[in-house]
Structure 1
Amino acid sequence: MVRKQDPDRNSKNKDTGKVKEIDKTTTSTGSSKVEKPTEDVDTGKADQLEEDPFEPLVEQLESLRSLLIKSAVTFVLWFLIVFATVRWWFPVVSMGADMVVFGPFEVIRFYIRTSAAMSLGLSIPFICWFLWQYVSSGMIEKKNPQLLKGSMGFMFGLFLVGIAFGYFVVHPLSYFFLIQMGERNFDVLVTADEYMSFLLITTIPFGLIFQLPLIVLFLNHIEVLDSTLMKKSRKFAYFGLLVLTAIIAPPDFFTHIITLLPMIGLYEFSIILVRRKEKRADKKKEPEA
């Protein structure tokens, strides 16, 4: 017997086949729709990386602008303080020396110039601190910020010690030595402007020179300098300090010795600080090993 095909059943099969095909197309299109956003996200990230090649440079420029602004504000504040209190510090600065001025305009010019010079000297520790923050932001690890945190007081203290050494030791010896040398053959007349220039030359450089231990610690921290290298190059360092002393101090042997001895002491003190720092670092590495 031959079975007859049911037309309704064939139509149902065709309908189910069409439904299956539609499901396949929808699933395939749905998967493509789902995959497209991921591709867009990846391409978006790539575009962002390609669009910002100068982002580090922009950040550096912003940090540099912040450094300049903070330095300028510090200088202006010190200038206003010094200029407003000029009658208080002037007798201390003059140290009883006989000075003259030529005309009223020289008075105001002297006060402005002297206030600016003293403000710059007082601003140097803060400017060095801002500069150190700018430079060391990419050099000093965030896990070891003790050197950066404790350096401000150490820096300012060394600067004050250097200024005091120049003011109480180098300046009187140099000034009176040159005055006595001039009085042998000339009638010496010292203007206020010249006296203040000489005072700044014999004080501010020592405030900077006394930053040597801090500079050495920083160079050691970034692994540029160590105690062994400093010991080996001791002779060359002494010679450099001797040349620097000859530039700063007046040309007499006694003042040279007085100026050179603390510089040599600073160098040896820097070696001791670096050596102690290296020993601490070695002790920390032993438990890890």
Structure 2
Amino acid sequence: MGKNKNEMSFLDHLEELRWHLIRSFAAIFIIACVVFVFIQPIYKNLLIVHLDGDFVTYHFFCDTFQLIGVDSDFCGLTFDDELINTDVTGQFTMAIWSALILGFIFAFPYIIFELWRFVAPGLSPKERKKSRWFIFFASLLFFVGLLFSYYVIMPMSSYFFYNFQISEGIKNTIKVQSHISLLTNTLLGVSLVFELPLIIYFLSKLGLITPTFLRKYRKHALVIVLILAAIITPPDVASQIVVAIPILILYEIGIVISKRVEKNLKKKLKNG
């Protein structure tokens, strides 16, 4: 008869965690191998499309500005899209790195599932039943953040950085590694930030934060969000506002979640 999770020693827990991590890394590796096989069409159709003036977001911005009667640089946008590679092994290394990043992104729901499997045995049957939604909401928030960063933040970043010049005498010659680094950092950074409501939920469950605390430090949170937006986006006000708004909305959702958690905890203490 196997040990109950509550009866497991510290080393048993470590062994259990090790196997969850091994399965998670295996999932990332398998997906990365598949991605690597199709890396050329993936680069062409997904990873460098933000350097195409016909990208859907640029058309949307163009049509939106025209609708309100404002001229926009997004209309007829062109890029000097000749990315360069200066290292002998640069493209091969970058292909491997990109495959691993995409492997993590596509395996994210499974990684969350493995995390849930590790934690679930220590929960009561009622808590375990409720926590199954964790996998769905964690994955949903992650992929909403991914789509937001891919279709909004990355086009704005590409538009700003590729067209910014200190002087006409200085020509930008962009390394492909630099472009992919900007892309992957943006995708992962924004996607993980979108997990904020779940982070607030668990911190509230642990009693580390309360809705009163979140309301009290709302102004401080606003400053942190604006700093975070400045790091993630190009250094222009419009881009920072575009990023800051959904994060602030997620923060407000987090307050509602924290309030509900606190209410449930008080009810639980009262009943027993």
TM band (smaller chain): 0.7 to 0.9
Answer yes or no: is 1:245 the counterpart of 2:229.
Answer: yes
Mapped to 2, the partners of 1:164 and 1:270 lie a distance apart of 21
Answer yes or no: is 1:95 the counterpart of 2:49.
Answer: yes
Q: 2:140 aligns with which of 135, 157, 168?
A: 157
Alignment match, 1:60: 13
Mapped to 2, the partners of 1:114 and 1:274 lie a distance apart of 37
Q: Determine if contact 1:125/1:159 at 8 Å carries over to the other structure.
A: no
User: RMSD of aligned C-alpha atoms?
Assistant: 2.8
Greater Rg over alpha carbons, structure: 1
User: Between Structure 1 and Structure 2, which shows a larger proportion of helix residues?
Assistant: 1
Answer yes or no: is 1:78 the counterpart of 2:31.
Answer: yes
Percent sequence identity is 27
Deviations along 1:12-34, one digit per CA (max 9) or x if unpaired, are xxxxxxxxxxxxxxxxxxxxxxx
Pairing of 1:13-92 with structure 2 (within 5 A): 56-90=9-43, 91-92=45-46
Answer yes or no: is 1:143 the counterpart of 2:126.
Answer: yes
Mapped to 2, the partners of 1:252 and 1:80 lie a distance apart of 38
Tell me the amino acid that sits aligned with residue 163 of structure 1.
L
Q: Determine if contact 2:146/2:190 at 8 Å carries over to the other structure.
A: yes
Q: 1:188 aligns with which of 151, 169, 172?
A: 172
- Secondary structure of the residue aligned to 1:187 is coil
The Cα shift of 1:197 comes to 0.8
Highest relative contact order (Cα 8 Å, sep 6+), 1 or 2?
2
Answer yes or no: is 1:275 the counterpart of 2:270.
Answer: no
Mapped to 1, the partners of 2:87 and 2:203 lie a distance apart of 50
Tell me the amino acid that sits aligned with residue 247 of structure 2.
M
Change (3 A) 1:147 1:227: farther
Mapped to 2, the partners of 1:157 and 1:55 lie a distance apart of 33
Mapped to 1, the partners of 2:219 and 2:130 lie a distance apart of 28
TM-score by length of 2: 0.75
Tell me the amino acid that sits aligned with residue 167 of structure 1.
Y
Tell me the amino acid that sits aligned with residue 46 of structure 2.
V
Change (3 A) 1:63 1:207: same
Answer yes or no: is 1:107 the counterpart of 2:105.
Answer: no
Answer yes or no: is 1:174 the counterpart of 2:157.
Answer: yes
Pairing of 1:208-287 with structure 2 (within 5 A): 208-279=192-263
Tell me the amino acid that sits aligned with residue 135 of structure 2.
M
The Cα shift of 1:281 comes to 6.1
TM-score by length of 1: 0.71
Mapped to 1, the partners of 2:115 and 2:148 lie a distance apart of 25
- Secondary structure of the residue aligned to 1:153 is helix
Deviations along 1:16-74, one digit per CA (max 9) or x if unpaired, are xxxxxxxxxxxxxxxxxxxxxxxxxxxxxxxxxxxxxx961221221221122122112
Q: 2:181 aligns with which of 197, 201, 204?
A: 197
Mapped to 1, the partners of 2:50 and 2:232 lie a distance apart of 23
Change (3 A) 1:184 1:146: farther
The Cα shift of 1:255 comes to 1.4
- Secondary structure of the residue aligned to 1:223 is coil
Mapped to 2, the partners of 1:181 and 1:224 lie a distance apart of 44
Gaps in structure 1 of 5+ consecutive residues: 1-53
Q: Determine if contact 2:116/2:135 at 8 Å carries over to the other structure.
A: no
Mapped to 2, the partners of 1:148 and 1:270 lie a distance apart of 17
Q: Determine if contact 2:205/2:261 at 8 Å carries over to the other structure.
A: no
